[in-house]
Amino acid sequence: MIATLLGKKIGMTQVYDAQNVLVPVTVVEAGPCPVVQIKTIESDGYNAVQLGFGAQKAKNASKAEANHAKKAGLESTPRVLNEVRLTEAFSGKAGDVLTVAVFAEGQIVDVLGVSKGKGFQGVVKRFRVGGGPASHGSMFHRRIGSIGMRQTPGRSWKNQRMPGHMGTDNRTVQNLRVVKIIADKNLILVKGAIPGANGDDVIIRSGKKAKPAKQA
């Protein structure tokens, strides 16, 4: 069973759980995800499936993308493709569709996404460097300060915290609980925040470090 879906971050809200506790949640539109390609050890050296999500206009799809989707029996070309490694060969066939039914309420999941881009930022925002005095007369407010000595070491250390591009990094948030599943709208509500802005593509999978539930 494949416990992975491609989706899109909708936004955050809050809901009451079964214990009448207000829980902050992120709404994810997960699936439906058609199986576009199946890879096996015999043909490719490993077991995996390629999942698709969304649909792009026919005029925007390249000929290779369109033929790839057509080979799987899909009516439209997926907007997003992602490969999911498997430990065993996939028992289904190309064209099968995965939905939110692969997850259950209360399940622990991981969400993979790309963090928001912040552009070029200084060290105060990028690394939370304290900076200098904020009072009048100081010429050292939000600057980096010393980045190395003179003769020893005579250079800047590797990984020195300096201004630069911030954000757009691959991030994984682990051990989020599925609070609610709305199957007819392909929505999954997970507790807490996930990477990216509203509308960004994400991957939701079964938690790799989830602890088994305690037996009563």
pLDDT, block means (10 residues), the chain with 216 residues: 90 91 95 91 92 92 92 90 90 89 93 96 94 91 87 87 95 94 94 95 90 58
pLDDT given at position 216: 44
What is the dihedral sign for C-alpha 31, 36, 40, 45?
negative
The CATH code for residues 4-118+168-206 is 2.40.30.10
pLDDT for 14: 95
Cβ pair 95, 35 in contact under 8 A: yes
Rounded CA separation 2/118 (Å): 34
> Can you give the length of the chain in residues?
216
- Structure token digits, residue 140: 């050292």
pTM (two decimals): 0.86
Q: Which sequence spans correspond to the domains of the chain?
A: 4-118+168-206, 119-166
What pLDDT is stored for residue 136 in this prediction?
A: 93
